[in-house]
Amino acid sequence: MPPPLARPGHDVVPLYGEEFAADPYAVYERLREYGDVAPVELSPGLGAMLVIDYRAALDLLHDPVTWAKDPTGWQDALPQDSAVMPMLRARPNALFTDGEAHTRYRKVISDSFARMEPHELRRTVQEVSDNLIANFGLAGEADLMGQYAKLLPLLVFNRVFGLPDSMGELLIDGIAGMFDAETPEEAAAADTAYTRYIMELTGAKKHARGEDLTSWFMDHPAGLTEEEVVQQIVVTLGAGYQPLSNLIGNALSRMLVDDRYYGNLSGGALTARDALHDVLKNEPPMANYSAHYPKRDVYFHGVWLRAGQLVLVSYAATSTQGGRTAPGEGAGATGSGGGAHLAWAAGPHACPVQQPALLIATTAIERLTAWLSDIELTVPYDQLKWRHGPFQRGLVALPSRFTPISPDQAGETPWKSSPSSSTPSDAISTGRPTAYGV
């Protein structure tokens, strides 16, 4: 019979609350005294084992014979209203299935993204970036999370899934609202908006296909049912939104405190791509995930694990096992803290959208720093607030100031540069104040 989870004399370490959000890396260091796998709590009373060793993580992620992604047995005994359940509960999509079902769902997603032309995706991101920058460029100050990094992925997704910009705000109300909801009423309103968005999207494409992801999901040779299409759209939007906004936000925050990136008008020696790699290695936007369940009792890297118990992989702890480059610190030989990382996970469930995600993030950062050449933080880096919770590493806000730009100034501006930007504000804002500041 396997022994209990935590060893005598050791407390289970929480991956939630103020202390963890303020300095998760100190917590990961404390966890190392347990060895390769450590007992943690994801929310009060909800325990899990966390893989914090790089090789142990690879052993798990590449072994679908021992490990399942389907949480069906595990979740039955748990309170369904726990804050972390939406990230863990079984659903018929790529993330929570194994074997043939998983291969079929995943292929629809990766084949469809592969059909997107990179130069068209880049142009889409440029247009969305320009529209957003035009909304705050005059003000000389902005919260680059709320007004940029959080909105941009959703407005890009809205376009690549095939709806006009006028529908972008419904998606923002729905999906960003779900992540930001602080009361049950706000969560319910966001859920209603999201359901409406998905119905509008699938309704529109059912009768008139286009050159977009929704149509490609629908027409994929895998022959998904309508319900299966909806499930893969929902997981794609859900899996893409927060990691992508965190990737952009974490990279921008590092660039703004490091002269090698963005020190003066002509720019520093390092590029947006360097900053993104720096973040993937040292501040991965998904910090802990890859929920897996052993199919049988198993002795794994020094601990007995019970069949069906929850085990997560810490991309943050494994990627920084050999040391971590903090923001503003000198980086490794590549100038960006080289070395392997697991920010995209690995194995059969590794992120299938890595290249498009990098392209979107790179373009978003390049566009912003090209239009606004002197952005600076308005609070010191070490006073920035990080979101709470075990799964993500992302900023609550990124307050900044810069020299204002206006539509009247000589030369190119974000108001004039994009073919679709003649009415940028109308396209992405109703004019009412929202949590996102547009």
The contact set with ligand HEM (CB under 6 A) reads: 94-95, 106, 109, 235-236, 239-240, 243-244, 247, 280, 284-286, 289-291, 315, 343-345, 349, 351-353, 356-357, 360
Q: What DSSP state is assigned to residue 251?
A: H
Angle at 13 between CA 8 and CA 16, to 5 degrees: 160
- C-alpha span between 17 and 347 (Å, rounded): 31
* 24 vs 243, beta carbon nearer ligand HEM: 243
Main-chain phi, psi angles of 183, to 5 degrees:
-130, 160
Residue 140 CB, nearest distance to ligand HEM (Å)?
A: 29
Q: CA-based diameter of the chain, in Å?
A: 75
Q: What DSSP state is assigned to residue 53?
A: -
Residue 401 CB, nearest distance to ligand HEM (Å)?
A: 27
* 271 vs 413, beta carbon nearer ligand HEM: 271
Q: CB-based contacts of 285: which residues, under 8 Å, 6+ apart?
A: 242, 243, 244, 246, 247, 250, 279, 343, 392, 393, 394
* 49 vs 353, beta carbon nearer ligand HEM: 353
Q: How many CB atoms lie within 10 A of CB 359?
A: 16
Residue 356 CB, nearest distance to ligand HEM (Å)?
A: 5
Compute, in degrees rounded to 10, the torsion defined by CA atoms 372, 373, 378, 379.
120
Residue 282 CB, nearest distance to ligand HEM (Å)?
A: 12
Residue 141 CB, nearest distance to ligand HEM (Å)?
A: 27
Residue 359 CB, nearest distance to ligand HEM (Å)?
A: 9
Q: Is the dihedral of CA 132, 136, 141, 142 positive or negative?
A: negative
* 174 vs 356, beta carbon nearer ligand HEM: 356
* 167 vs 247, beta carbon nearer ligand HEM: 247
* 247 vs 311, beta carbon nearer ligand HEM: 247
3-class secondary structure per residue, 17-82: HHHHHHCHHHHHHHHHHHCCEEEEEEECCEEEEEECCHHHHHHHHCCCCCEECCCHHHHCCCCCCC
Residue 168 CB, nearest distance to ligand HEM (Å)?
A: 16
From 154, 146, 144, select the one nearest 175 (Cα to Cα): 154
- C-alpha span between 388 and 143 (Å, rounded): 19
403's tokens = 């020299």
Q: What DSSP state is assigned to residue 12?
A: P
- C-alpha span between 65 and 72 (Å, rounded): 17
- C-alpha span between 122 and 266 (Å, rounded): 23
* 135 vs 290, beta carbon nearer ligand HEM: 290
Q: Is the dihedral of CA 249, 252, 258, 261 positive or negative?
A: positive
Residue 166 CB, nearest distance to ligand HEM (Å)?
A: 22
Residue 343 CB, nearest distance to ligand HEM (Å)?
A: 4
Amino acid letter at 182? E
* 205 vs 349, beta carbon nearer ligand HEM: 349
* 344 vs 381, beta carbon nearer ligand HEM: 344
